[in-house]
């Protein structure tokens, strides 16, 4: 069985990320050996029309079990002009049609009179228009396995190596994975060659009128392919790549490919490929991308492109990459606990019974809910695995997993076996629970008391979790009189209600469950501060438009609520259930917002809005506040005050990427963010304070490694 082509559009870090989503399953009677298929491509390409003449010499080792026939597929827009196959073999072609994809099937059939060869080679000459889903001459071109510009089998988990010589008009440049082995200009034509000696899942061909910048770092070529002449921008990305490549090589193992390149994409879509990343023009000019999305994509060379996930078991590569990039880089700054809480909030905000699924079913991100499962939940599961086996064994497991399965397919079963070998623990129950069970535990400290006994103190705790119970290793922080830094104890939670008796030397002052946010769980209603993501992710959402429309918020309302849930505000009507989008500076709910904001030391007057540290005028500024409802109904309410009508489309586009924040200030029509922040959380359900007024501190958590990228 083989998944032939997928296509879907998702959003990440403010840009569109394209992953294939059209799925076509076909049974096949033969299979390759473990050896990758070798393609030797010669391509003459006209970028303006995407017309290409291609020759491909294909070489692969066969499986002796069955080699009576081999099948390959090209896109149906390509015409097979000539073929060369060994004596005793014949070539048949036919159309293969699915609902959304038309392919040319090339069947190579063996005569019964000849034996099965160990190695098979053939040459195909073909021509036609190459498929690019976002074709635009000004935006360049991008061809991949989903374009079927080279013959592919439909054998599952097949891998490729290749050499590719491309001829096209100057000043066009092309980039692919692997190493550039030639780049010459002759008679107005550029002839460029790329060779990939390491296996990957598919072949990419990216082209545009690039300005190319190159450096060599410890023998590794580094490139920046930019659409404008910007030496300083290229320098920043090349220098940053050096730090992260060195960091992850030390953390996991040697960088797996022959080069690394940043490739600018005018389409604003982004991709992580073996040995390069394609990132949108607007995105790469945001300074924060250098140390957020960029290291994430660099790390994908190890996870996802260096070791390939067995998709039938679930895609582990996104969560593992997020854990060792997004999470680890903040953990090294002492911000790991806060980031983990943010990820748990994502799950809580966007995942519910109607859209939840187990990690073993995660393939690619196609919604906020799937992202919260495949990225945030798995990130937390990996953190719990690290706590279970210890940092040293966790690092050993990562390194062994990479070394063992480099350029190969690996699934969760391989990941489990590797960590069992490095830790000496049986992890079957851990993986079974977290991979195949939906949902998350919800935990609270039901009771806490203590008694003095013979110079010591017996601390008695009752911990409760929602049914059905999860099996958890739960940390507990205990503060004692005269010791402001908490002791950390660990308990095993297996039942819905459990009692624990912990003996301590000092008189307890306070106790708190999961003080560092180490356990994947649903934050309590009071623990979770209101955030924009809660309004976006609510199951019941109503948009309340102002009676007097100074600015037209109608399109914004239509983007966040169903038509029947868009209402004109009426002072006398009861508020609907669920979360609310509230539009306009003088909305009838203004008093409710102002009362809560006053308690948070935020004031409003005729001039604008005043925070503790800075004031912002009404003119040319937009404000967003998310707070809890003040009536008896559950949910959040988000107040949107646009600075001008022109800012509304930009707010609609940008706000989904600020989901973790409770308040935001933007300036101008673009608009540009000027202030952002979160409200304080309140872990009431997780803690018991026996004596007020005593100082309480948590010791700093040790990061996974002591070294940093820079």
Please say whether the beta carbons of 124 and 55 come within 8 A.
yes
- The predicted pLDDT at position 550 comes to 67
473: tokens are 């290793």
Residue 7 pLDDT greater than 70, yes or no: no
> pLDDT, tens digit, for every residue of 636-648?
999 999 999 999 9
| Mutual angle of helices 391-405 and 412-423, in 10-degree steps | 130
Mean pLDDT of the chain: 91
Residues 359-387 have a mean pLDDT of 97
Residue 630 pLDDT greater than 90, yes or no: no
Q: With 0-12 CB in 10 A as exposed, 13-18 as middle and 19+ as buried, what is 706?
A: exposed
Fold entry, domain 316-436:
Neutral Protease; domain 2 (1.10.390)
- The predicted pLDDT at position 65 comes to 67
Pairwise CA distance, residues 437 & 18, whole Å: 29
Q: Which distant-in-sequence residues (6+ apart) come within 8 Å of 114 by Cβ?
A: 87, 88, 89
Closest CA to 226 of 264, 177, 180, 200: 264
**pTM recorded for the entire structure:** 0.86
* Range in 134-138, 143-147, 481-485, 521-525 with the lowest mean pLDDT: 134-138
Residue 486 pLDDT greater than 60, yes or no: yes
Q: Which distant-in-sequence residues (6+ apart) come within 8 Å of 450 by Cβ?
A: 457, 458, 459, 460, 507, 508, 690
Percent of the chain with pLDDT over 90: 82
Asked if residue 639 has a cis previous peptide bond (ω within 30° of 0), the answer is: no
DSSP 130: P
Residue 16 pLDDT greater than 60, yes or no: no
Residue 518 pLDDT greater than 50, yes or no: yes
Residues 643-654 have a mean pLDDT of 94
Residues 649-658 have a mean pLDDT of 94
- The predicted pLDDT at position 138 comes to 63
Closest CA to 429 of 462, 471, 398, 476: 471
Q: For residues 703 and 158, which has the higher predicted lDDT (pLDDT)?
A: 703
Residues 512-535 have a mean pLDDT of 93
Pairwise CA distance, residues 280 & 267, whole Å: 6
Sign of the C-alpha dihedral computed for residues 523, 527, 531 and 537 taken in this order: positive
Pairwise CA distance, residues 326 & 303, whole Å: 14
Q: Report phi then psi at 455, rounded to 5.
A: 80, 0
Residue 33 pLDDT greater than 80, yes or no: no
Residues 264-276 have a mean pLDDT of 86
- DSSP-derived 3-state class of residue 397: helix
Please say whether the beta carbons of 616 and 675 come within 8 A.
yes
502: tokens are 């912990």
* Range in 249-253, 451-455, 465-469, 563-567 with the lowest mean pLDDT: 451-455
> pLDDT, tens digit, for every residue of 90-147?
999 999 987 678 999 999 999 998 998 999 999 999 999 999 876 655 679 999 999 9
> pLDDT, tens digit, for every residue of 167-202?
999 999 999 999 999 999 999 999 999 999 999 999
Q: Which CATH architecture has domain 443-526+685-689?
A: Sandwich (2.60)
Half-sphere exposure (Cβ direction) of 654: Cα atoms closer than 13 Å: 20
Distances (CA, A) of 586 to 79, 174, 547, 630: 65, 55, 9, 18
Label residue 25 by pLDDT band (50, 70, 90): very low
Pairwise CA distance, residues 500 & 503, whole Å: 10
Please say whether the beta carbons of 208 and 48 come within 8 A.
no
> pLDDT, tens digit, for every residue of 198-240?
999 999 999 999 999 999 999 999 999 999 999 999 999 999 9
Residue 8 pLDDT greater than 80, yes or no: no
- The predicted pLDDT at position 99 comes to 63
- The predicted pLDDT at position 523 comes to 94
Strand 621-628 vs strand 636-641: parallel, antiparallel, or unpaired?
A: antiparallel
- The predicted pLDDT at position 10 comes to 33
CATH class of 28-176+190-195: mainly beta
Q: Please state which CATH number belongs to domain 210-306.
A: 1.10.390.10
Pairwise CA distance, residues 529 & 533, whole Å: 11
Residue 396 pLDDT greater than 50, yes or no: yes
Label residue 5 by pLDDT band (50, 70, 90): very low
Strand partners, 222: 215, 260
Residue 9 pLDDT greater than 60, yes or no: no
Please say whether the beta carbons of 195 and 166 come within 8 A.
no
- DSSP-derived 3-state class of residue 45: strand
Label residue 273 by pLDDT band (50, 70, 90): very high
Residues 387-412 have a mean pLDDT of 98
Label residue 260 by pLDDT band (50, 70, 90): very high
| Domain edges within the chain | 28-176+190-195, 210-306, 316-436, 443-526+685-689, 532-677
- Dihedral over alpha carbons 18, 19, 20, 22 (to 10 degrees): -80
Residues 10-29 have a mean pLDDT of 35
Residue 485 pLDDT greater than 90, yes or no: yes
> pLDDT, tens digit, for every residue of 671-696?
999 999 999 888 999 999 999 989 99
Asked, colleague to colleague, whether 210-306 and 316-436 share their fold, the answer is: yes
Residues 319-328 have a mean pLDDT of 98
- The predicted pLDDT at position 30 comes to 41
Residue 14 pLDDT greater than 60, yes or no: no
């Amino acid at each position: 069985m083989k998944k032939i082509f997928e296509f879907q559009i998702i959003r990440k870090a403010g840009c569109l990320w394209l992953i294939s989503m059209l799925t076509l399953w076909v049974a096949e009677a033969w299979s390759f050996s473990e050896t990758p298929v070798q393609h030797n491509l010669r391509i003459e390409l006209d970028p303006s029309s995407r017309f290409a003449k291609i020759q491909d010499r294909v070489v692969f080792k066969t499986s002796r079990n069955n080699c009576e026939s081999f099948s390959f597929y090209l896109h149906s827009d390509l015409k097979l002009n000539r073929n060369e196959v060994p004596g005793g073999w014949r070539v048949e072609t036919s159309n293969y049609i699915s609902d959304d994809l038309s392919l040319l099937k090339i069947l190579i059939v063996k005569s019964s009179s000849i034996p099965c060869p160990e190695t098979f080679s053939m040459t195909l000459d073909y021509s036609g228009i190459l498929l690019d889903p976002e074709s635009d001459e000004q935006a360049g071109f991008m061809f991949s396995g989903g374009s079927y510009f080279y013959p592919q089998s439909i054998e599952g988990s097949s891998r490729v190596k290749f050499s590719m010589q491309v001829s096209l008009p100057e000043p066009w440049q092309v980039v692919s994975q692997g190493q550039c082995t030639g780049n010459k200009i002759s008679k107005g034509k550029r002839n460029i060659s790329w060779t990939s000696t390491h296996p990957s899942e598919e072949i990419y061909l990216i082209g545009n009128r690039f300005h190319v910048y190159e450096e060599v770092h410890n023998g590794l070529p580094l490139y920046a392919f930019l659409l404008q002449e910007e030496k300083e921008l290229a320098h920043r990305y090349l220098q940053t790549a050096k730090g992260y490549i060195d960091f992850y090589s030390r953390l996991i193992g040697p960088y797996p490919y022959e080069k690394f390149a940043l490739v600018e994409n005018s389409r604003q879509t982004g991709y992580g490929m073996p040995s390069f990343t394609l990132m949108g023009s607007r995105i790469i000019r945001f300074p924060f991308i250098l140390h957020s999305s960029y290291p994430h994509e660099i790390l994908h060379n190890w996870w996802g492109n260096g070791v390939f996930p067995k998709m039938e078991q679930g895609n582990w590569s996104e969560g593992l990459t997020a854990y060792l990039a997004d999470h680890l880089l903040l953990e090294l700054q002492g911000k790991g606990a806060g980031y983990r809480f943010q990820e748990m909030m994502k799950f809580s905000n966007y995942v519910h019974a109607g859209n939840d699924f187990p990690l073993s079913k995660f393939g690619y991100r196609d919604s906020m809910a799937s992202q919260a499962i495949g990225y945030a939940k798995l990130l937390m599961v990996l953190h719990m695995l690290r706590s279970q086996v210890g940092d040293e064994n966790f690092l050993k497991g990562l390194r062994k997993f990479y070394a063992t399965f480099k350029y190969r397919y690996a699934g969760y079963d391989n990941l489990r076996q590797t960590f069992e070998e490095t830790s000496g623990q049986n992890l079957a129950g851990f993986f079974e629970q977290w991979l195949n069970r939906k949902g998350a535990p919800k935990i609270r400290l039901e009771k806490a008391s203590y008694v003095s006994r013979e110079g010591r103190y017996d601390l008695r705790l009752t911990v409760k979790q929602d049914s059905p119970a999860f099996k958890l290793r739960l940390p507990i922080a205990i503060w004692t009189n005269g010791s402001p830094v908490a002791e950390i104890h660990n308990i095993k939670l297996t039942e819905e209600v459990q009692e624990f008796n912990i003996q301590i030397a000092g008189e307890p002052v306070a106790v708190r469950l999961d003080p560092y946010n180490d356990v994947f769980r649903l934050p309590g209603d009071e623990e979770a501060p209101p955030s924009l993501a809660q309004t976006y992710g609510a199951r019941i959402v109503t948009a309340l438009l102002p009676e007097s429309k100074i600015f037209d918020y109608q399109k914004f309302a239509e983007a966040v609520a169903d038509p029947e849930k868009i209402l004109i505000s009426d002072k006398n009507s009861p508020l609907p259930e669920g979360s609310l989008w509230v539009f306009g500076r003088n909305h009838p709910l203004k008093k409710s917002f102002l009362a809560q904001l006053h308690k948070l030391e935020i004031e409003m007057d005729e001039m604008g809005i005043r925070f503790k540290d800075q004031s912002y005028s009404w003119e040319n500024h937009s404000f967003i506040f998310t707070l809890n409802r003040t009536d008896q109904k559950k949910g959040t309410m988000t107040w949107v005050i646009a600075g001008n009508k022109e800012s509304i489309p930009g707010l609609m586009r940008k706000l989904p990427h600020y989901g973790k924040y409770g308040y935001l200030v933007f300036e101008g029509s673009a608009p540009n963010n000027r202030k952002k922040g979160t409200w304080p959380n309140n872990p009431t359900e997780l803690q018991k304070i026996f004596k007020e007024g005593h100082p309480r501190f948590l010791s700093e958590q040790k990061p996974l490694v002591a070294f940093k990228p820079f």
